[in-house]
Amino acid sequence: MFFRLIKLTFSTFIVFVFCFSFSASAQFGIGNALKKRAEELVKDKLKEKTEEKRDSYDTLSFNYAIAFLDKTESFENQQKGERLVKTANFMLRDGDPQTELEAARDIYDFGRLNYNNGNDFMAEANLKIAKLKYEQLSATSEPNYLKSIGLLGLLYDDMGRYNKAEEFTLTALDGWEEIQGKESVGYLAELNNYAVLLMNLGNYLEAESIIQKLGGKLKTDLENEKLPYAIFLNNHAILNQYMGRKDKALDLMEQCVEIAKESLTDKNSTYLQFLTNKAILEQENGDLESAENTFQNVLDLQESRFKLNAKNDPDYAHMKSNIAALYVEKGELDKAEEALILALEIYKDELGAEHLTTAGTQADLGNLYRYLGELDKAEPLLQSALYTRERKLSKTHPKVIKSQEDMALWFWAKGQIKQANNYFGKVMDTSLEFVKDYFPALSEAEKTKYWEQLKPRFFRYYNYALENYYEYPELLDNLIKYRLATKGILLTASTALRNSIYNQNDPELEKLYEQWLDQKQQLTNAYTLSDEEIDEQSINIDSLQNVANQTEKELSLKSDAFSTVYKDRNTDYKTILERLENGQVLVEVIQYPIFDKKLTSNNAYAYIIFKKDERPEILVNEDGDLLENRYYAYYNNVINQKMEDQYSFAQYWELVNKETSDANRIYISPDGIYNQINMNTLKQNNGRYLIQDYDIRYIGHPNDILVEKSTGKTKSTAFLMGDPDFNSASIAQLPGTRQEIENISKYLSNQMKMEKYLNKEANESNLKKVKSPKYLHLASHGYFLQDEKASNNLFGVQLQYIRQNPLLRSGLILSGIGDDENSEASQSFNQSDNGFFSAYEAINLNLNNTEMVVLSACETGKGDVKAGEGVYGLQRAFIVAGAQSLVMSLWKVDDAATQKLMSSFYKENVNGKAIPDAFRTAQLAMLNEYKHPYYWGAFIMFSK
């Protein structure tokens, strides 16, 4: 109430003064001296009131970043800021004498208030000027100097300029530490802001480490400062939601609301935002009834704040917009429409028809009408939103591109495909530019988060193109262009960085790269330690993560890796057709969610078929959910039970086979469930397995057939490791792998130098010393753990890290996991060789130009399958590490059969057959002996 009361009293006072001045001058002829004195009295009063408002407005004194799940600010704060700016402008326009420091503070205040108003340009300009003014006055120890820098960091975070955001935030953090120390309120506030920035960047583990420490510090002063601790709980809750810990997130948010109650009234805008976050968490957790009750509570509180005009307040409109999204999820679309209409009316009246928030609600309501099929109602709303955004934002602003996509979807629904093509063309091409421009400056975690936000747009376009390409054939060309540019984009970025560093012959860059690898190894070591061990050894994991992340970004910027490879990705598909030979076919598989007015949870599969000198064909199977669940369960069952497979060929390949049956070699670039099935093992209607009639080769990307084999220097060395001494009653020894290694050694000994490690020597330490051998062969147990099965300290790694990184959930088991002395050693920060060799560690191996890696273990081809990105596990790790070909298994393998297969494979290779040909010949030989694919079909070869 306080701010509203001030608003009414203050506004009336100003109006009265202006009226009095005008009337008196006109009617009574007040002299200039009296008029000047009156103005001075007014200005004194204004100054006093402005200071009151400034102090009240700046409740916390420091700029705490508060994470909101709906990504919006309180309009009440914006309006307070607007009133204060106008007041201050009036008060200062004649210019009272000021000290230089007072002037600097005023400029900072203007910047901060413009920031709260969403005036990014003015905020940036004023904050930069304030920063410069403090520097010119040598007043860099002033708190407002550091606040200026920190607020610039927040501003750049909001604008998506993350490099600048990180630069300014870290500068402010260092400044607070130097001037006031790590226990100061300023330092803790900036530390909070840095954690929120890391959340926005997708660096969740690092953010969590900071937030946990921050919580401990803020909790000690809970009696005096409850609101900062409530903000901490809010941010920690949202971070847990991002990390998939939904129950914990809701628990933290409930604590936040309870503590905030003690320092804020239940009608305070920040408290209402906390309640809004709670409602959204309940909604995302599937508790829609609780979410609706909480939203309704927020609305009731908002109404009770100002009974006369509650429903004319933008904050009330904002709450109605939030509950509208809930109504959509509940299928109560009439209620959603009613809520959005009311919100839009309020925004128009209070903020104006061309305000960006108004445009956002127009877009939401327009999209709702599009979903309902009421296209005539949708069009003016979507057009108006686009018009406002184009006028007020840059041409490439994400909101402009989103509005253009909204129009593309509307024209598609209307059946006006030419107009839809125009909009989609702009949207998709700009999105590709985003990838090209932003990826080089991002770490892998940041790239992943950014791509997750952008990827649904490509899925929508795939649906659009596949529905309309018969009438507009150019849509198929565009679909192929976008697919080639983005398939495996994250894997491409990782492998490109490594290859570029090795190939640029830049000693400084190589030194920086080695430094990064060492930092990642330190992180791996730290992940294996318990909380107690971390405390004992004074290890700061968030610092290690931050240093490694910064080094990675520096490497990415200094290397031209991504831009070069990305340019190659934009090769015209005709180049692929030209490279294919007669009798060869390439099948690009695309997994995508089906679009039915919105993207659904049901997947479909498309198959682009490339043949020499022919226009590509595309086929679609909309039974993706069956392929991924029921049919895959059947396939697994017949493999494991060694039964006759009567259906898998019809379900997975018969559609494609109609277009590829005249080929003798088929390149498959898999996606989705096709990463988990060996197509060679499917039995055709003629009773023959596909391997018997076709030379099937797995590749990561269609462009891989264009890549010439590396001519880099590779040592003529075979690195062989097997039969580890597990020294554990719970893990069976693998004596057959010793014979496997001995047989391979016998075949290769006359061709190359041997490095052979058996028994206790088959350990992590020796494996990590590998340096670009021609062949790397590892024979042991493999492991892969689904996320939901993770338990604390599994495979030597703490649970919190396992869940967040799929590369920590798969790996190989090597010698020493049961050794008492190794268990002691593993508690040292400098040694993590505990016998569990994860994919996270494998990615750091030096396999540059290694021709082949063989993972002769169970389920080494398993991992987290992500649409368009392949398998996150050992497969990805060894490809990034540099392997040109990788042999891995999809199910638990028979020991004796594996030994025979591998021996035959190397024998054929030594006798002159190329690696893929030797592998197929060995499998065919095994098929003749064992018949069922359980014995010969577990292994697949993946090449790049």
Q: DSSP readout, 710-746?
A: P-S--EEEEEEEEEE----TTS---HHHHHHHHHHHH
Kindly report the number of other CB atoms within 10 A of residue 460's CB atom: 21
Rounded (to 5) percent helix, strand, coil in the chain: 65, 10, 25
Give me the mean pLDDT over the 591-613 stretch: 95
The residue among 459 and 791 whose pLDDT is bigger is: 459
Per-residue pLDDT reduced to its tens digit, 529-546: 556 666 666 666 666 766
- Report pLDDT for 826: 40
List, in sequence order, every residue forming a beta bridge with 153; answer none if it has no partner: none
The residue among 657 and 446 whose pLDDT is bigger is: 657
- Report pLDDT for 59: 37
The rounded radius of gyration (Å) of the Cα atoms in the chain is 32
Query: Please, which pLDDT band fits residue 566 given cuts at 50, 70 and 90?
Result: low
3-state secondary structure of 841: helix
d(CA 942, CA 135): 58
Question: Lowest-pLDDT range, 370-374, 424-428, 496-500, 636-640?
Answer: 496-500
3-state secondary structure of 72: coil
Q: What value does the mean pLDDT of the chain take?
A: 80
Per-residue pLDDT reduced to its tens digit, 381-395: 999 999 999 988 778
Q: Where is mean pLDDT largest: 33-47, 63-77, 251-265?
A: 251-265
The C-alpha angle 739, 744, 745, rounded to 5 degrees, equals 95
List, in sequence order, every residue forming a beta bridge with 837; answer none if it has no partner: 812
Which residues, other chains included, contact 345 with Cβ-Cβ below 8 Å and sequence gap of 6+? Answer: none
Per-residue pLDDT reduced to its tens digit, 890-918: 998 888 899 999 999 999 999 999 999 99
Q: Name all contacts of 296-299 with Cβ < 8 Å and 24+ positions apart.
A: 296/323, 298/272, 298/322, 299/323
C-alpha distances in angstroms, 641 versus 464, 637, 683, 739, 934? 42, 6, 16, 27, 9
Query: Please, which pLDDT band fits residue 22 given cuts at 50, 70 and 90?
Result: very low
pTM flag (> 0.85): no
d(CA 395, CA 356): 15
- Report pLDDT for 18: 28
Query: Please, which pLDDT band fits residue 798 given cuts at 50, 70 and 90?
Result: very low
- Report pLDDT for 66: 65
Token duo for residue 72: 């919006």
d(CA 887, CA 861): 8
Q: Which domains does the chain have, with CATH numbers?
A: 573-705 (3.30.420), 710-943 (3.40.50.1460)
At residue 252, does pLDDT exceed 70? yes
- Report pLDDT for 590: 97
Main-chain phi, psi angles of 759, to 5 degrees: 55, -130
Query: Please, which pLDDT band fits residue 118 given cuts at 50, 70 and 90?
Result: low
The residue among 363 and 449 whose pLDDT is bigger is: 363
The C-alpha angle 731, 737, 743, rounded to 5 degrees, equals 175
Backbone torsion region of residue 854, taken as left when φ is above 0, otherwise alpha when ψ lies between -120 and 50, otherwise beta: beta
d(CA 289, CA 266): 21
At residue 528, does pLDDT exceed 80? no
Kindly report the number of other CB atoms within 10 A of residue 570's CB atom: 13
Give me the mean pLDDT over the 115-119 stretch: 72
Per-residue pLDDT reduced to its tens digit, 633-654: 999 999 999 999 999 999 999 9
DSSP state, 318? H
- Report pLDDT for 75: 44
Query: Please, which pLDDT band fits residue 788 given cuts at 50, 70 and 90?
Result: very low
The amino acid sitting at 386 is L
Kindly report the number of other CB atoms within 10 A of residue 60's CB atom: 13
Q: Name all contacts of 222-225 with Cβ < 8 Å and 24+ positions apart.
A: 222/259, 225/185
930 in Cβ contact with 880 (< 8 Å): no
Strands (E) in 221-352, as ranges, are none
How far is Cα of residue 875 from the mean position of the Cα atoms in its chain? Answer: 20
**Longest CA pairwise span in the chain (Å):** 116
Query: Please, which pLDDT band fits residue 242 given cuts at 50, 70 and 90?
Result: confident
Give me the mean pLDDT over the 402-426 stretch: 97
Query: Please, which pLDDT band fits residue 787 given cuts at 50, 70 and 90?
Result: low
Question: What per-residue string of b and e applies to 579-615 under the rule 16 or more CB within 10 Å gives b?
Answer: bbeeebbbbbbbbbbbbeeeeeeebbbbbbbbbeeee
Tokens 């917009």 correspond to what residue? 321
d(CA 887, CA 918): 12
C-alpha distances in angstroms, 69 versus 359, 611, 626? 20, 48, 34
What is the percent of the chain where pLDDT is above 70? 76
Token duo for residue 468: 């309309």
Query: Please, which pLDDT band fits residue 232 given cuts at 50, 70 and 90?
Result: confident
List, in sequence order, every residue forming a beta bridge with 592; answer none if it has no partner: 604
- Report pLDDT for 541: 67
What is the percent of the chain where pLDDT is above 90? 41
Q: Where is mean pLDDT largest: 724-738, 867-881, 918-932?
A: 918-932
Which residues, other chains included, contact 115 with Cβ-Cβ below 8 Å and sequence gap of 6+? Answer: 123, 127, 151, 154, 155
- Report pLDDT for 599: 94
β-pairing, 599-611 vs 584-595, is antiparallel
- Report pLDDT for 97: 62
d(CA 515, CA 521): 10
Give me the mean pLDDT over the 862-888 stretch: 81
Nearest CA to 802 out of 817, 811, 812, 792 is that of 792
At residue 26, does pLDDT exceed 70? no
Query: Please, which pLDDT band fits residue 58 given cuts at 50, 70 and 90?
Result: very low
3-state secondary structure of 262: helix
Token duo for residue 248: 């914990």
3-state secondary structure of 571: coil
Token duo for residue 457: 């747009």
Token duo for residue 62: 């420091």
Question: Lowest-pLDDT range, 234-248, 496-510, 850-864?
Answer: 496-510
Query: Please, which pLDDT band fits residue 783 given cuts at 50, 70 and 90?
Result: confident
Give me the mean pLDDT over the 114-143 stretch: 86
How far is Cα of residue 798 from the mean position of the Cα atoms in its chain? Answer: 22
Main-chain phi, psi angles of 737, to 5 degrees: -70, -25
- Report pLDDT for 525: 63
- Report pLDDT for 11: 27
Per-residue pLDDT reduced to its tens digit, 668-720: 999 999 999 999 999 999 999 999 999 999 999 998 888 765 544 556 899 99
Per-residue pLDDT reduced to its tens digit, 177-222: 999 888 888 888 888 889 888 887 777 777 887 888 887 777 766 5
At residue 261, does pLDDT exceed 60? yes
